[in-house]
Amino acid sequence: MALLRKFFFRKPPDGLLEICDRVYVFDSCFTTEGWHKKNYKEYIGGIVNQLRHHLSDPLLLVFNFREGETQSEIANILAEYDMTIMDYPRQFESCPVLTIEVIHHFLKSSESWLSLGQHNALLMHCERGGWPVLAFMLAALLIYRKQYSGEQKTLDMVYRQAPHELFHLLSPLNPMPSQLRYLQYVARRNLASEWPPLDGALTLDCVILRFIPNFDGQGGCRPIFRVYGQDPFLVANKNPKVLYSTPKRSKTVRAYKQEESELAKIDIKRHIQGDVVVECVSLNDDMEREEMMFRVMFNTAFIRSNILILNRGEIDMMWNAKDQFPKDFSAEVYQLADLFTL
């Protein structure tokens, strides 16, 4: 509680939560309910006016996490107050974690703005459904500015600011394992001369599942994989795309049983670079219906010894799926360093 008092030492204006000194979050981020346009404008305007009085005419920078390319409603409202607004995406390939490049931009922009003077403050806003990524970015900011230590503790503290059920409602998979991995990347900046490090291209050779999960009700599964990320060969285009998807009718797709084998090896052999999402689903007997098994997001620049070994606590899975994975389960992502220079 003493640590929380350190960060919440002044009562902020109604409608705002103060995460740390001069960093505020709109409490509308903690609900899934929509707003009537007129009421929303009054809500935002009232908060801004209160905050300006509270901080004696501050300079405010707003970060907004949203979907789509059209101008957001909050941008239209705050334009009347001559405030700077920076938009960020709400997810990366359905995962509420952003790329290292975007995280780096957010952290440097935040630090630069707050360092300009005590009258500068940050306002954080997310559109409906954006709380998981906003919570992650707030945790990254606290770690980056050394105002909190410990990735798990920091992320838990931020998530506790909203109702517990909101997290489950907005994210069908538990994203915390991937979020914690990226918070560890942020924490490493103090140990490296260059951050973020250069992300060389690799070949994702294969994935090995040790100790078969039970997704068919009979102690087995039929795993297929999809890989999303930047195409290393399209240097000018950093938009993510599907880099690999196991054909459902491929001869390589097979059912694995716990009683028959302890591991499943799935070849992928695709070039990857930078931020990557690997998704594993289990096909039903009809070879059409799918059940999500797990997802993992990582950045190739932080891979050591060209292998990423993840236990069942380090993969994003459905909230109620833990018991479908054996206690000793692991997913091993094998990668080979490429010899060409992009």
Question: DSSP string spanning 290-318?
Answer: EEEEEEEEEEGGG-STTEEEEEGGGSB-B
The pTM of the full predicted model, rounded to 2 decimals, is 0.92
The single residue listed with the structure tokens 């994203």 is: 175
- pLDDT for 1: 47
> pLDDT (tens digit, 0 to 9) for every residue of the chain, 342 residues total?
455 445 444 578 888 999 998 999 999 898 877 666 678 888 899 999 888 888 887 899 999 999 877 778 888 888 888 888 999 999 999 999 999 999 999 999 999 999 999 989 999 999 888 999 999 999 999 999 999 989 999 999 999 999 989 999 999 999 999 999 999 999 988 676 788 888 878 999 999 999 999 999 999 999 999 999 999 988 778 889 999 999 988 788 999 999 999 999 999 999 999 999 999 999 998 888 999 999 999 999 998 888 999 999 999 999 999 999 999 999 999 987 764 444
Task: Measure the CA–CA gap between 209 and 212, rounded to whole angstroms.
Answer: 7
Task: Measure the CA–CA gap between 200 and 195, rounded to whole angstroms.
Answer: 14
Q: Which of 20, 29, 95, 126 is the catalytic position?
A: 126
**Residue-wise over 120-155: b if at least 16 C-beta within 10 A, else e?**
bbbbbbbbbbbbbbbbbbbbbbbbbeebbeebeebb
In the three-class reduction of DSSP (H, G, I as helix; E, B as strand; rest coil), residue 173 is classed as: strand
- pLDDT for 12: 80
User: Are 266 and 278 spatial neighbours (Cβ–Cβ below 8 Å)?
Assistant: no
Domain with residues 202-337, CATH architecture: Sandwich (2.60)
- pLDDT for 334: 94
**For the chain, which residues make up each domain, given as ranges?**
2-191, 202-337
- pLDDT for 342: 41
Task: Indicate the pairing of strand 120-126 with strand 59-66.
Answer: parallel
- pLDDT for 33: 74
Is 126 part of the annotated catalytic residue set? yes
The fold of the 2-191 domain, in CATH, is Protein-Tyrosine Phosphatase; Chain A (3.90.190)
Task: Measure the CA–CA gap between 62 and 83, rounded to whole angstroms.
Answer: 7
- pLDDT for 335: 87
- pLDDT for 35: 67
